[in-house]
């Protein structure tokens, strides 16, 4: 892959802290993400993984610290503008537009790359229509490149898709925004091993086609975490426990404890 030691940093976070009233959901977390890199994020439930994604995508504004995309501060930029700047995401519980066609879901992903407003739609229809049809053509190509099976189902309502295809569609929709950084929130949740393997192949294919795309994947499935990311960051109780290649991470006792639970570690030790 395109990642090398000299690749520039695309996204970085510094001292990120998130408080909800008295609850500290995230304390002074820092991270970097290089161009073309895949960063895995692991940690038990409630460790602050999704909070981190919500901070990066502008859904939460961090209590302190800052997020920078290619050196530009993102704090306080509204979520819809962050997408336009190049950060796209998927959701843990897939959030598709279920009553729209598969194709329309991806066309909506082209929103930031199209312009037509109410006035254009009504009085300059030719222009608005040409723009939307170009977006639809783009969406078709994208669907085809992400998954042939999905492309064949493009005229079905998204709500009728099987679980694995829903995930793929979410990834395709996010890619339609032409992101520099793609954040995947537990892409394999609710999938069996075969589906997860297929998903990993799809993600690899997506990355191969876009060598500059940086990926952040929150995951619980250790098989995926072991093989896909270049680097893994461990979060626990809103703090960063460790950050490094999977082979190093898995050996740290505190990681085993945080991830597998105290009991399991004791058993493993015994």
Partner 1 sequence: MTRSEHSARAASNPVAGMATVVVVQLAGAVFLRQFLLIEDWRLVIGLLLIFGAALVLMERVPSLEARVEAAFARHSRLALLLGMAIVLGFPFVLEGNTYALHLCVISMLYAVLALALNFQLGSANIPNFATGASYGIGAYASALLALNFGVSFWVALPVAAVVATIFGFLLGIPSMRTRDSYLALVTIAFGVVIHQLLNNLEFTGGPNGLVGIPVPELFGHSFGDPLVIFGQELPSQANFYYLSALLVLISIVFARRLHDSRVGLAWNALRTDELAARCQGINVTWYKVLAFAVDAFLAGFAGTIYAFYVGFISPDNFTFLVSVTIMTMVIAGGMDNILGVIVGAFLLTLLPEKLRAFSDYRILFFGVTVIAFLMIRPQGLFPQRLRRYGD
In the 8-state DSSP scheme, what is residue 6?
A: T
DSSP string, 19-50: EETTEEEEEEEEEEEETT-EEEEE--TTSSHH
Q: List, edge to edge, every strand of the sheet that includes 214-218.
A: 87-89, 181-185, 214-218, 38-42, 231-236, 239-244
Per CB under 8 A, does 218 bind partner 1? Answer: no
User: Contact with partner 1 (CB under 8 A): which of 116, 198, 200, 226?
Assistant: 116
| Residue pointed to by tokens 């078709």 | 140
User: Contact with partner 1 (CB under 8 A): which of 108, 198, 200, 260?
Assistant: 108
Distance CA 96, CA 82 (A): 19
Per CB under 8 A, does 267 bind partner 1? Answer: no
Question: Which of the stretches 15-23, 80-88, 141-149, 262-270 binds partner 1 when contact is defined by CB under 8 A?
Answer: 80-88
Count, residues near partner 1 per rule CB under 8 A: 46
Closer CB to partner 1, 80 or 262, in the complex: 80
Q: What are phi and psi of 49, to 5 degrees?
A: -65, -50
| Residues 6+ positions from 205 with CB-CB distance below 8 Å | 145, 146
Per-residue x/- mask for partner 1, residues 121 to 140, rule CB under 8 A? xx--x--xx-xxx-xxx---
Binding site for partner 1 (CB under 8 A): 57, 59, 78-81, 83-84, 88-89, 91, 95-101, 103-104, 107-109, 111-112, 114-118, 120-122, 125, 128-129, 131-133, 135-137, 155, 157, 173, 177
């Amino acid at each position: 892959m395109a990642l090398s030691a000299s690749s520039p940093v695309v996204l970085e976070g510094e001292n990120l802290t998130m408080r909800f009233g008295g609850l500290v959901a995230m304390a002074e977390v820092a991270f970097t993400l290089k161009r073309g890199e895949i960063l895995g994020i692991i940690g038990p439930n409630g460790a602050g993984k999704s909070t981190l994604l919500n901070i990066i995508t502008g859904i939460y504004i961090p209590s302190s610290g800052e997020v920078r995309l290619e050196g530009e501060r993102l704090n306080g930029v509204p979520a819809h503008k962050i997408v336009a700047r190049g950060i796209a995401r998927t959701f843990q519980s897939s959030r598709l537009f279920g009553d729209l066609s598969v194709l329309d879901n991806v066309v909506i992903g082209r929103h930031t790359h199209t312009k037509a407003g109410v006035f254009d739609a009504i009085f300059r229809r030719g222009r608005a229509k040409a723009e939307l049809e170009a977006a639809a053509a783009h969406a078709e190509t994208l669907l085809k490149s992400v998954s042939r099976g999905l492309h064949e189902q493009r005229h079905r309502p998204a709500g009728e898709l099987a679980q694995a295809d829903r995930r793929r569609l979410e990834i395709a929709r996010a890619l339609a925004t032409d992101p520099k950084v793609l954040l995947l929130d537990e892409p394999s949740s609710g999938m069996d091993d075969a589906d997860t393997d297929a998903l990993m192949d799809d993600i690899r294919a997506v990355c191969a086609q876009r060598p500059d795309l940086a990926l952040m994947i929150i995951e619980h499935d250790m098989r995926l975490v072991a093989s896909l990311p270049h680097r893994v960051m461990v979060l626990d109780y809103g703090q960063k426990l460790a950050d490094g290649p999977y082979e190093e991470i898995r050996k740290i006792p505190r990681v085993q404890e945080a991830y597998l639970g105290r009991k399991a570690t004791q058993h493993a030790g015994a």
